[in-house]
Chain A
């Protein structure tokens, strides 16, 4: 009897806890989401309502002029106050090509390296692994000055291949580390079985390990893509013209010494976010799957 009442009150307090949990969660998420919302909202606001004082909370209407200007379509208001005619098409092309190609190369090379770290034993293995991570930890700002001088001598500054090379180098270590974990999570007996059936080391890798590590590769791919897509310290130094300039340094073109054109900047920011959101949405499930599959265990 007393047990029954206890469970009853227990479950009631538990249900109340669940509801509180829910309310609290969405409140926190809302706080975190305000900046995102504000960026999107500003990009479609009417010009006079941005930075108005007193602030206008509820827009009286929406305007897609900022996007039209970005894409070079005629609008009644004409160009932005700053950053007149920005070659958005060139920036988009550079950003997409550089991020996708460097992610692809980093995934291939990093997966190979991760496989080596997970499955082979050789001297200096720990040393090589640690050295890779230390290379990755070098801040972009520390690398930017010597790389700027070196690239100028090699004729690689302001080129798309030059930027791809940088991001491949930056993304290999982390990819290798994640993939190492994913390969480790695959039981070695599976590979042994494949080898007994006559597969070579290489064959076992291609037929057994690689397919099983694919969710992991998706997770590694997200991180590599976002790093390349959003990197600023090096891109701002190496890329100078629309020939290789990517989105992050291009945001500067909306700023002057004292004022910024927020309409143009937020519109371009939204353009910048769209591919990232799509990419993450596509591989989000694999990301969680990959991260839970034991790869991240120390």
Chain B
């Protein structure tokens, strides 16, 4: 009489215990492989790189180097005019690129969303640049902007009837404009895709109501479309911030940061220091500066994403 309830109790409690154990541990079991792989392939090398950046390691002194603290960072920050020039140029480059890509993306997404037919053809065409490897974008734009045989000068020739040999990649402002154009060509389609997804998911009722009230196209855009698109704009910006260094491939191929550092961005500068100059330690310090640059962007965007998602936000 007493044994049976006890046994049942034991079984029940064990089952409850087992369920609660697995329930409690399931998130960690599911996350564990991802965390291990990321720590191994990203975390550990970055720790090693942090250590390297605090030493005087170069390719030739690989056996014999000293711990020198923050000296590499201090040299870059205080004694290297090239660093600040490339840093300022990178900020300008990213600011211009992201804003122009956003405006173009919004415009094209609108055009596609309003198109009567051929929407999926248009979408497929505009997605083509997304499939190009950034390095391929670099090669092709280097060729297009070539002074002698480039497509751009050839088109100018065809339009004006006179041969042009504009040194797009060499001239000071033109070099910067050329890498900017390549970056915009490569990344605008991505904005189009995300923003078009946003436009397609907008509810129709507010627009019908606005139409009845006689709102103009601009008013509808300003007071309905734009606010409702904000989450998508955030998403697009967040993804862009993760991949902000994709521009490295393009610029490295097109100009390599040259000539005379005219198009040097912080990423091509890492390459110049670490691999061309074989100053591994200074290169590692420079790498960390690029990482912090990316993190500021990423942290800011994802902080906003988390805030709206987990602080009782919708969906």
- B-contacting residues of A (Cβ < 8 Å)? 18, 21-22, 24-26, 28-29, 32-36, 38-39, 51-55, 57, 109-110, 112-113, 115-116, 120, 122, 125-126, 128-130, 132-143, 145-147, 149-150, 165-166, 168-170, 172-174, 176, 181, 184-185, 201-202, 226, 229-233, 247-249, 251, 255, 260, 262, 265, 269, 272-273, 276-277, 280-281, 284-285, 287-288, 291-294, 296-298
Known: A29-B122, A201-B26, A269-B136. A51 touches B37 (CB 8 A): no
On chain B, the residues within 8 Å of A145 by CB distance are 49, 52, 274-275, 280, 283-284, 287
Residues of A within 8 A of B244 (CB): 137, 139
A-side interface mostly: helix
Q: Which residues of B contact A52 (CB under 8 A)?
A: 149
Roughly how many angstroms separate A36 CA and B112 CA in the complex, as a whole number? 20
Whether A137 pairs with B287 at a CB distance below 8 angstroms is: no
Q: From residue B21, how far is it (CB to closest CB) to chain A in Å?
A: 12
B: number of interface residues (CB 8 Å):
107
**Given A112-B30, A233-B249, A297-B315, residue A146 in contact with residue B284 (CB < 8 A):** yes
In the complex, A28→B126 CA distance in Å? 9
Given known pairs A232-B134, A273-B131, A297-B232, the reply for A142 and B27 (CB within 8 Å) is no
Instruction: Give Cα A9 to B233, complex, Å.
Output: 35
Q: Please state if A130 and B132 are interface contacts (CB–CB under 8 Å).
A: no
Q: Are B46 and A126 in contact (CB under 8 A)?
A: no
On whether the beta carbons of A292 and B201 are closer than 8 Å, the reply is yes
Interface residues of B in 11-65 (CB under 8 A from A): 22-23, 26-28, 30-31, 33-35, 37-38, 40-46, 48-49, 52
The reply to whether B249 and A143 contact each other, CB–CB distance below 8 Å, is: no
A248 and B133: CB pair below 8 A?
Answer: yes
Is B189 among interface residues, defined by CB-CB distance under 8 A?
yes
Does B235 sit within 8 A of A, measured CB to CB? yes
Please pick, from B31, B111, B270, the residue contacting A116 in the complex, using a CB distance under 8 A: B31
Q: Which residue in chain B gives the minimum CB-CB distance to A276?
A: B131
Asked if A141 and B242 make an inter-chain contact with CB atoms under 8 angstroms apart, the answer reads: no
CA distance A112 to B29 in the complex (A): 9
Contact status A146-B45, CB under 8 Å:
yes
Which residue of the partner chain, among A21, A181, A230, A265, contacts B132 with CB atoms under 8 Å?
A230
- Shortest CB-to-CB span from B240 to chain A, Å, is 11
Residue of A nearest to B188 (CB): A32
Q: A135, B34: Cβ atoms under 8 Å?
A: no
Rounded to whole angstroms, the CA-CA distance of A297 and B126 in the bound complex is 23
B314 near A113 with CB under 8 A, answer no
A120 touches B26 (CB 8 A): yes
Quick check: B125 and A133 within 8 Å, CB to CB? no
Contact B136 A272 (CB under 8 A): yes
